[in-house]
Structure 1
Amino acid sequence: MHFSSTGSSWINQVERRFGFLTDQLIRRRVHKSVQSLEKDIRDWIAQWNDTPRPFVWKKTAEEILESLARYCR
């Protein structure tokens, strides 16, 4: 049995969303002003919301636990 706090999976989803934003927008462009950055972020969010996709985990719980066990050894 593993204890997860009530909001942990929600927080993970938020962190992943910021990761997508960083990878797909912020690192790929040059913003010469805060207003330019803000506009691009708002446009990215609008586009993301227009074509929603569920987040799919790539690994099973067993694969994650095996990876953690290898790391601990």
Structure 2
Amino acid sequence: MTDKLIRRGVHTSVKAFEDGITAWVNTWNENQRPFTWTKTADEILNALADYLAKVTPPANNN
């Protein structure tokens, strides 16, 4: 949904954006398929921890 609707979509209003999301969900629900994870939970959590370590400013110990 992110690539197809949010990043590439053109929305003229919040209502148009909401309607687009609702339409996407309705279409998805008509032809459901399971999401297949490509990484384990540990791999995802480790990647998140690495990212947070990079973007978190150091603590100010004044």
| TM-score relative to the length of structure 1 | 0.49
Q: 1:23 deviation in Å?
A: 1.5
Separation in structure 2 between the aligned mates of residue 23 and residue 59 of structure 1, nearest angstrom:
20
- Out of 30, 37, 60, the residue aligned to residue 57 of structure 1 is 37
Q: Any idea what SS the aligned residue of 1:25 has? A: helix
2:27 matched residue in structure 1: 47
Aligned-CA RMSD value: 2.1
Amino acid at match of 2:10: V
| TM-score relative to the length of structure 2 | 0.56
Separation in structure 2 between the aligned mates of residue 42 and residue 60 of structure 1, nearest angstrom:
30
- For the pair shown, the structure with the greater C-alpha radius of gyration is 2
- Provide structure 1 residue ranges, at least 5 long, that are not aligned to the other structure: 1-20
Separation in structure 2 between the aligned mates of residue 22 and residue 59 of structure 1, nearest angstrom:
19
- Provide structure 2 residue ranges, at least 5 long, that are not aligned to the other structure: 51-62
Total equivalences in the alignment: 45
Amino acid at match of 2:26: A
- Structure (1 or 2) with the greater helix fraction: 1
